[in-house]
Amino acid sequence: MKKFSGVSLPQLTEEIVRNARKTRLDAFAVALEGWRRGLKLKWYTKDTPHFDDMIVFGVNPPGRLFSLSSEKRTHFFFRTRGDKVSNEAVEIGSEKGDTKIWLDKAGVPIPQGKGFPAEATDEEIIEYSRTLDYPLVFKPTNASLGNGVVTNLRDEAEFRDAVNYVRHELGYEEVIVEQHVSGKEYRLYVVEDKVIAVYNRIPANITGDGKHTIEELIELKNYERRQNARLNSCLIHTDQEITEFITEQGHSFDSVLEKGKQLMLREKTNVSSGGDPIDVTDEIPDNIKQIAIDAVKAIPGLHHAGVDIIVNEDPAIKQPAVVLEINPTAQIGGALFPLRGKARNIPAAIIDYYFPETKGIDTSDSKIYFDMTTVLEPLEDRTAIEVEVAPAPMGKLHAKRYVVIGDVQRHHYHRWLKKQALDRNLNGHVKNMVFDEIEIIIAGTDKKEVDGFRQILKQYPQGSKVAKIEEEVWEEPVTVGFEITERYNTSTLRAAQYSLRKMNQELARLTKQKNRINKDISHVFNSTSWKFSTPIRKVGEIVKGKK
């Protein structure tokens, strides 16, 4: 099996982002970066008045709205977008027609074209299309995620079909007609006058190996995507569009794809419809990056955003690239977790911009994080409106894993350990293992305290029965605070879901262990020497019996 080969940021491992999916991942990544730099982090529900003046959407579930504060000031964020981005800029960005007008005005290259309001008749639109050179693109003005975008229309018949489909079948009446610029599409993330990340989005695709059918290859590709923190929520779903697309290319789900052949499954490049993000930041020339920077500058009050461009391969067009779209609330998962290439630290760039005084703080080896599920718990059912995350320990984190063996599985002991840890500003958890073992993770900035905790483990006043302590340096991520991981907590919905997940893991672990032991046993039984020694064993039993 080919493993996912993108290089993600060391401070954003799969474990750390486990409970932050989709657009929650964007918010989490930015919030985590600010928090790790020592800023105060608060999460909100949509009912908070703090975001009354900010354009937000899809915020019914918590985990998208947060604020970061230094001693001097507070900034509010919706996903990746902070409060320095004006509402006007957001509005311009969400209307593709307006975006075009502003970009054009500033001399930023765009595909030739025009937006039409809902009142415009189909004939008007078709009339206008005759002034452009085919192939054309037809798309709704304000749909997101590539919905209703029809590209590469080669003649008027195809164009008419597209108009009918988008305006009448899908019901997007406000539309844009523009020139189809052939070339590779890229998404750039710009903060002020710098391009932080560039990634290429390849439409959902598979590569043949001469053995597997297309259906199986899609399955395998999804397996690969599942390993990637960003892509595991965006698997390839074999829908009508894919079926038609591969049929058109003369394939079916049952056909075996020849070795090395790459097959595109649709035209759309969106990551959410199965597209592959591939980092190319270092490969894109500066003149193209400058176009994206200019595009962000062209929209007043924007400052930072995602910019979609096409690098032009059409010799008839002079510009090296054209800007298709601007996204003030861009998703950045693709840049953080590329399927190939290197991850780019957009969250750091955003925090640098909002809190330049924290610029020097390097979080790249930070292992501390907070669990989104736990922190958002009371926001989920709206019992609370606001939760302030415990401050991140600042400075180098030292961590140890202790395995304590003895009569140590009592809850009282664990509660006492929690108090000892918290009183010493230490973070981590205690967890019951099988039999008579517990695992304790202890992490803190004071190495002496972390190492000294070994002594504490034995000091439980009610007569602790610690038989043995094993210790090792712990390199894995650690959550802030101290948790007693109980197997069975059903006091709240979240707790129950959490327990369920944990118990499933535990069951899998136990089953594995059991199978291993059974394998050992059957190995002994089946071993030829065991069979040979049958008579000896009998003698042994007789001897034993006499003792």
Partner 1 sequence: MEEVKKEWLPHLHDEFVSEADGTLLDAYVVALEGWRRGLTLRWHVKDSEKFKDMKTWFVDNPGLLFSLSSDDKTHYFFRSRGDFVTNEAVEIGMDKAKTKHVFREKGIPTPEGKYFSKDESDDQVLEYAQQLGYPVVLKPIDGSFGKGVVANITSDGEMTYSIDYVRHELGYKDVIVEKYIPGEDLRLYVVDDKVVGAIKRIPPHVIGDGINSLEALIELKNEERSLSPRLSSCLIESNKELLDYIGRLGYSLNSVPEKGEQVFLSEKANISLGGDPVDVLEELSTDIKKTAVQAMKAIPGLVHGAVDMLLYKDVNINQETGYVIELNPTSQLGGILYPVKGKARDVPAAIIDYYFPETKGRRQENEKIYFDLFDVLEPLQSRQAHVSTVTPSPQGKVYAKKYTVVGDVQDIGYHRGLRKQAFERYLHGFVMNKENGDIDVIVGGLDPEMVDDFKNAFWEDEERATVLAVEEMPYDEPLKVGFEVKADIKTLKEELEALNKEIEQTTLEMKKAEVKRRKLYDSLSWKTTKPIRVLGAIFKNK
> Binding of partner 1 at residue 500 (CB under 8 A)?
yes
State the minimum distance, in angstroms, from the CB of residue 431 to partner 1: 13
Answer for the pair 360, 43: CB distance below 8 angstroms, yes or no: no
Q: Pick from 195, 257, 291, 375 the residue near partner 1 by CB under 8 A.
A: 375
Q: Pick from 73, 536, 542, 547 the residue near partner 1 by CB under 8 A.
A: 536
* Residue 282 neighbours by CB under 8 Å, 6+ apart: 342
Q: Which two tokens stand for residue 511?
A: 């089953």
Answer for the pair 271, 277: CB distance below 8 angstroms, yes or no: yes
Considering only residues 132-151, where is the footprint of partner 1 by CB under 8 A?
none
State the minimum distance, in angstroms, from the CB of residue 73 to partner 1: 19
Answer for the pair 436, 410: CB distance below 8 angstroms, yes or no: no
Residue spans of alpha helices (H) in 113-179: 122-129, 156-163
Backbone region of residue 395 per phi and psi (left: phi > 0; alpha: psi in -120 to 50; beta: other values): left
Backbone region of residue 406 per phi and psi (left: phi > 0; alpha: psi in -120 to 50; beta: other values): left
State the minimum distance, in angstroms, from the CB of residue 487 to partner 1: 7
The C-alpha atoms of residue 147 and residue 434 are separated, in whole angstroms, by 51
Q: Pick from 5, 243, 252, 504 the residue near partner 1 by CB under 8 A.
A: 504
Considering only residues 39-58, where is the footprint of partner 1 by CB under 8 A?
45-47
> Binding of partner 1 at residue 480 (CB under 8 A)?
yes
State the minimum distance, in angstroms, from the CB of residue 335 to partner 1: 27
Q: Pick from 529, 542, 546, 547 the residue near partner 1 by CB under 8 A.
A: 529
Site string for partner 1, 58-77 (x = CB under 8 A): --x-----------------
Stretch that binds partner 1, among 268-276, 319-327, 384-392, 440-448 (CB under 8 A): 384-392
> Binding of partner 1 at residue 419 (CB under 8 A)?
yes
Q: 286-298 and 96-105 helices cross at what angle (nearest 10)?
A: 110
Of 117 and 540, the one with the shorter C-beta distance to partner 1 is: 540
Strand 368-369 versus strand 478-479 pairing type: parallel
Stretch that binds partner 1, among 191-199, 210-218, 440-448, 537-545 (CB under 8 A): 537-545
Q: Which two tokens stand for residue 429?
A: 């958890």
> Binding of partner 1 at residue 497 (CB under 8 A)?
yes
State the minimum distance, in angstroms, from the CB of residue 99 to partner 1: 29
Answer for the pair 296, 326: CB distance below 8 angstroms, yes or no: yes
Answer for the pair 370, 56: CB distance below 8 angstroms, yes or no: no
Q: Which two tokens stand for residue 394?
A: 């600042």
State the minimum distance, in angstroms, from the CB of residue 122 to partner 1: 32
> Binding of partner 1 at residue 517 (CB under 8 A)?
yes
Q: Which two tokens stand for residue 298?
A: 């062209």
Stretch that binds partner 1, among 119-127, 172-180, 227-235, 513-521 (CB under 8 A): 513-521
Q: Pick from 134, 210, 479, 546 the residue near partner 1 by CB under 8 A.
A: 479
> Binding of partner 1 at residue 530 (CB under 8 A)?
yes
Q: Pick from 199, 370, 453, 474 the residue near partner 1 by CB under 8 A.
A: 370
> Binding of partner 1 at residue 389 (CB under 8 A)?
yes
> Binding of partner 1 at residue 382 (CB under 8 A)?
yes
Chain center to CA of 440: 29
Considering only residues 420-439, where is the footprint of partner 1 by CB under 8 A?
422, 434-435
For every residue of 458-525, which 3-state class applies, written as one string?
Answer: CCCCCCCEEEEEEEEECCCCEECCEEEECCCCCCCHHHHHHHHHHHHHHHHHHHHHHHHHHHHHHHHH
The C-alpha atoms of residue 140 and residue 174 are separated, in whole angstroms, by 6
> Binding of partner 1 at residue 528 (CB under 8 A)?
yes
Peptide bond into 315 cis (omega under 30): no
Q: Which two tokens stand for residue 84?
A: 């320095």
Q: Which two tokens stand for residue 391?
A: 């401050």
Q: Pick from 34, 115, 338, 481 the residue near partner 1 by CB under 8 A.
A: 481
State the minimum distance, in angstroms, from the CB of residue 521 to partner 1: 5
The strand pairing partners of 362, in sequence order, are none
> Binding of partner 1 at residue 482 (CB under 8 A)?
yes
What residues make contact with partner 1 under the rule CB under 8 A?
Answer: 45-47, 60, 370-371, 374-378, 381-391, 418-419, 422, 434-435, 479-484, 487-488, 490-497, 499-500, 503-504, 506-507, 510-511, 513-514, 517-518, 520-521, 524, 527-530, 532-533, 536-537, 540, 544
